[in-house]
Structure 1
Amino acid sequence: MSADDSVLLHTEGRAGYLTLNRPRALNALDHTMVRRIDEALTAWEHDPAVATVVLRGAGARGLCAGGDIRAIHRDASAGGGASSRAFWRDEYRLNDRIARYPKPYVALMDGIVMGGGVGLSAHAGVRIVTERSRIAMPETGIGFVPDVGGTFLLARAPGELGTHLALTGAAVGAADALLLGLADHFVPAARLSDLADGLAGAGVPETVARHAATAPGGELAAHREWIDSCYAADTVEEITERLADSGEQAAKEAAETLYTRSPTSLKVTLAALRRARALGSLEHALDQEYRIACAMLTSPDLVEGIRAQIIDKDRDPRWTPDRLAAVTAAEVARHFAPPAGPDLGLGAGGAAARDA
């Protein structure tokens, strides 16, 4: 496969189709793909023949499993992180562009949609899920934080549902994605191809309405009471204590999950979510996430987490520090300071920064 084959582009009727085409890697997103998507969006934005953009993934397993974290591991281990910072700058700007895109952008969130895949789809104007959808921001398991606007999305979820998903990295299905505000419509997977084809010749609202259905029941609504109570605590330590002592089996399982996550990532993630609630815009949240991501490159947990989960697959990361109590307030604050290099500047610089 050539580099240009990693994202397939074609137009049919009034629609432009973006197909992520790395099915063996579950369409993991790399820098070349980010650039190619951005170039296509530029061309179609100014093409009067294209009325709608449709995002989908090749293969049967899902839209996108996230960013190419093997490349980030190589860069952070040996390259000093410059390539990763450049990737994040372009990726986060693309996430912002998708949210602001002036034409209908329809994301088909079928199958696995995680990390960077959420950034390509959950900011879309029209977000479609199916009974096969499994959506997650699992970054605390690799020593990272929810990014690509994930803190903005999860901070706006009802109650503390977003906090639960951000800290545990739990995956949700269609009904829960709708409840969380990560999706807009449910379409059975068997109708997805007809929906995509129909967008070439008809408007988005009527095409979606023709294929949409009621999503199968979700799980989160039944757990709102303990989730809202436990995750409303001010610290990760208190959250885990409340979960463990709640008397609910699902809450105890959530506590056990948190015990396996990077303590630094958990504390930075909680702080990022709480701050995102007050930031007021996706642009400011992306700016914050960029600062955090740059700081994470200088922390041992990101390299170690990717090693344990993806490279060696021993599933036994050795976090530094390995206890919540050892993660100081100063260490958390460090992740929100301006980076050594240029800032992202989406919130501060507006259109000028986005178009630079």
Structure 2
Amino acid sequence: MQQVRQKERAKGRRDGFSSGYKHGYRLGTAEAVVSQIPMMPTNPSPMRILYIPQGFEAIDHGCSVALSKMSSAYAEAHPSRLVEEAQRFKPDLIVVLNALHVFPQEHPEHIIWAKQQGIRTAIWFVDDPYFTQDTAVLAPYYDFVFTHEQQCIPFYKQLGCRHVYHLPLAAATERFRPIRSDYRYCHDICFIGNGFWNRVAFFDSYAEQLMKYDICIAGGYWDRMVTHARWGDRLRSGWVPLDESVYYYNSSKIILNIHRPHEQGADNRNTFDLPAQSINPRTYEIAACGAFQLTDVRSDLTQMYTPGWDIETFQTGEELMQKIEYYLVHEEERMRIAMRSLQTTFMRHTFEHRVRHMLDVIERSYSVSGVALLN
């Protein structure tokens, strides 16, 4: 019996060393990849910019950092204090994120007031097309409308918006980046997100196959699953703080990414029934951590990443099961794809890239029209 215990302890030490080596090697490689990417020049705009956040922690953080770097002066205000802060700060441009959920009913009147003061206004819709019932009302109030969903561009133009542009989402790389893994978040497979009905249907359908693995599902509304009780401690119910999601991404072998449905219903207010082609912020965030992800396919994906090179995809549940089995035993291939995904994201898909494009569009528009950029 003592010999058996000694052998088990020896095996445990070997396994622990092997696991620690692999995680350390992954982190070292990821840090080397990031260190070789040249820093993006900020080239600050001459504009004084007031930012109005939505309350999306990661996206707001990315916008705030980038706008503060790329403006001559920067301020930020809660949606309810837009007018008060604009009177104090005297911005040239107000940038609003989304304008939904936590924004006061009188927000459109605040935008009208700002324009009467000669302040330019821009909104970035990052929840399209899931709330078109609301965004259709809001969009015409702004001078510039940016949306991460290409299908919404003609929609907003038909509403009378003159300046409408595609602006994809991105990763807040100050928050989502390679870090040392934590054994508490190590799993074969991990999914973080709410239980939208298409996701519920998937995990119910493949519960038997998925439960063979060390899998973690984290998020809200998973009590919708018929198989809910069977998942046991594989299921973590409730909101996952941003910093913990970074640990999950950095520690697990495969991160699943399944987009939400776009149809009008209990979880959406897409009364105009616009299709969803854009990829979600999670795509960029997982990639920015140097993690390997398996994602379902949205048509915009190939504009941002190259399937089979810097991201891996699936079209059906059966294909996903096959790729899970394959990539769990092909670690080197898994890591190569993850490192390429990391490189692509830091080189092309940060909030600095998006905000730079937004400000270039706005400055170019006033330059072409002959209107003075600054008040």
TM-score, normalised to structure 1, is 0.23
Structure with more of its chain in helix, by fraction: 1
Q: Which has the higher contact order (CA 8 A, sep 6+)?
A: 2
Q: TM-score under structure 2 normalisation?
A: 0.22
Largest Rg, 1 or 2 = 2
